[in-house]
Amino acid sequence: MSNQSTHYVDEMNSPLGPLTLVASEKGLCHLYYGEMSSCQASLKVWLKKQGRCGNIVHCTETLRPYCTQLEEYFKGERIAFDLPLDLCGTPFQKKVWEALMQIGYGKTVSYKEIAERIGAPRAVRAIGGANNQNPVPIIIMSSRYRQ
């Protein structure tokens, strides 16, 4: 059964180039590197894969708080994000992403250490795979996340 819902999308400029942000009513669920127009097809495929269908609405107002926090981060004024997320992934992926969000600002941790932290010491390659599927990479990988 699919989840009928509205997803909001907007684009912002960043030092990395244009970013396209996608949020559900629950929170930010995806961040694409690139312009909104070039991400539409990928977004539709991703939503279908996640079992989500419904409207995709361009809405600057809904995504403004996320854009503001990202702008503050890029200016060096913010080291932690505190807006709601709506992460879609397997239970294993979510466990990895939660562990990544606990890494302190400016710190690095190996995949092996993450695997040990989540109680799966042999899952080093799977940690890399989960990291590759991270739907909001700047938020999860750049700083400690506070919810």
Q: Given this model, what pLDDT does residue 143 score?
A: 53
pTM of the shown model? 0.87
Domain 91-145 is found in CATH 1.10.10.10: yes
Q: For the chain, what is the total number of helices (H) and then of strands (E)?
A: 6, 8
Predicted confidence (pLDDT) per residue in 52-72, tens digit: 877 889 999 999 999 999 999
What is the dotted CATH code of the domain comprising 3-81? 3.30.160.70
- Quickly tell me which residue has 């669920």 as its tokens: 29
Q: Where are the domains of the chain?
A: 3-81, 91-145
Q: Is 21 exposed, middle or buried (0-12, 13-18, 19+ CB in 10 A)?
A: buried
pLDDT of residue 96: 94
- Each residue's pLDDT expressed in tens, for the chain with a length of 147 residues: 455 789 999 999 999 999 999 999 999 999 999 999 898 888 888 888 888 877 889 999 999 999 999 999 999 998 888 889 999 899 999 999 999 988 877 788 899 999 999 999 999 999 999 999 999 988 887 655 544
| Strand residue runs (E) in 52-107 | 52-53, 56-58, 80-81
